[in-house]
Amino acid sequence: MASEDVTFHSPVATPFKFSNRVLLKTILERGDGGLELINQRVIIGGWVRSSKEMKKSSPPPQLPERGSEEKKPKDVTCVEILQSRIPLIRTIIEVFGGSVSASRKKVETGDPAPLPPQPSTVYLLVTDGSSVATLQVVVESSIAPPSKLMHTGTSILVEGVLRRPSAGGKYAVELKAEKVLHIGTVEVDKYPLSKKRLPLDLLRDYSHFRPRTTTVSTVMRIRSGLSFATHSFFKDNAFFDVQVPTITTTDGEGFSKIFHVTTMGEKSEKEKLDTIYESEGVSLEAVKEAVKEKSNIIENLKRTESNKEALLAAIQDLRKTSELASQLEAREKTRSGTVLKTDKVDSSEDFFSGETYLTVSGRLHLESYACALGNVYSFGPRFQADKTDSAKHAAEMWMVEVEMAFSQLKDSINCATEFFKYLCKWILETCSEDMKFVAKRIDNTCVHRLQQILSGSSEMVSYKHAIDVLRKVANMRFETNLEYGVALTAEHVSYLADHIYNKPVIIYNYPKEVKPFYVRLNDDGKTVAAFDMVVPKVGTIISGSQSEERLNIISSRIKELGLPREKYEWYLDLRRHGTVKHSGFTLRFDLMVSYVTGLGNVRDVIPFPRSYHRANN
* Spatial separation of the C-alpha atoms in residues 384 and 401, rounded to whole Å: 16
The per-residue pLDDT for range 403-440, each reduced to its tens digit, is 999 999 999 999 999 999 999 999 999 999 999 999 99
Asked, for residue 614, whether it belongs to a domain, the answer is: no
Nearest-10 Cα torsion for 528, 534, 366, 576? 0
Looking at the fold, whether 526 and 383 belong to one and the same domain comes out as: yes
Asked, for residue 19, whether it belongs to a domain, the answer is: no
**pLDDT for position 452:** 95
Looking at the fold, whether 522 and 487 belong to one and the same domain comes out as: yes
Looking at the fold, whether 225 and 301 belong to one and the same domain comes out as: no
Looking at the fold, whether 373 and 426 belong to one and the same domain comes out as: yes
* % of residues, the chain, pLDDT over 70: 79
Half-sphere exposure of 419 (CA within 13 A, CB side): 33
Domain count, the chain: 4
Specify the CATH number for the domain of residue 590.
3.30.930.10
- Contacts of 67-74 spanning 24+ positions with Cβ under 8 A: none
Looking at the fold, whether 228 and 331 belong to one and the same domain comes out as: no
* Spatial separation of the C-alpha atoms in residues 183 and 202, rounded to whole Å: 28
Looking at the fold, whether 489 and 457 belong to one and the same domain comes out as: yes
Mean pLDDT of the chain: 84
Asked, for residue 89, whether it belongs to a domain, the answer is: yes
Asked, for residue 230, whether it belongs to a domain, the answer is: yes
Looking at the fold, whether 158 and 222 belong to one and the same domain comes out as: no
Asked, for residue 347, whether it belongs to a domain, the answer is: no
Half-sphere exposure of 40 (CA within 13 A, CB side): 17
The per-residue pLDDT for range 489-503, each reduced to its tens digit, is 999 999 999 999 999
Looking at the fold, whether 477 and 448 belong to one and the same domain comes out as: yes
Where residue 418 falls (left for φ over 0; alpha for ψ -120 to 50; beta otherwise) is alpha
Looking at the fold, whether 97 and 242 belong to one and the same domain comes out as: no
The per-residue pLDDT for range 515-565, each reduced to its tens digit, is 999 999 999 999 999 999 999 999 999 999 999 999 999 999 999 988 889
CB 238 within 8 A of CB 375: yes
Q: How confident is the model at residue 445 (pLDDT cuts 50, 70, 90)?
A: very high
**pLDDT for position 341:** 38
**pLDDT for position 113:** 62
The per-residue pLDDT for range 561-605, each reduced to its tens digit, is 888 899 899 999 999 999 999 999 999 999 999 999 999 999 999
**Model pTM score:** 0.78
Looking at the fold, whether 429 and 369 belong to one and the same domain comes out as: yes
Beta bridge partners of 135: 126
Looking at the fold, whether 373 and 450 belong to one and the same domain comes out as: yes
Q: What is the mean pLDDT of residues 220-249?
A: 96
* pLDDT tops 50 at residue 66: no
Looking at the fold, whether 105 and 138 belong to one and the same domain comes out as: no
Please provide residue 118's backbone torsions phi and psi, each rounded to the nearest 5 degrees.
-70, 130
**pLDDT for position 11:** 76
Could you list the residue range(s) of the whole structural domain that residue 166 is in? 24-54+120-194
Asked, for residue 548, whether it belongs to a domain, the answer is: yes
Specify the CATH number for the domain of residue 168.
2.40.50.140
Helix (H) or strand (E) holding 226: helix 214-236
Asked, for residue 70, whether it belongs to a domain, the answer is: no
Half-sphere exposure of 31 (CA within 13 A, CB side): 1
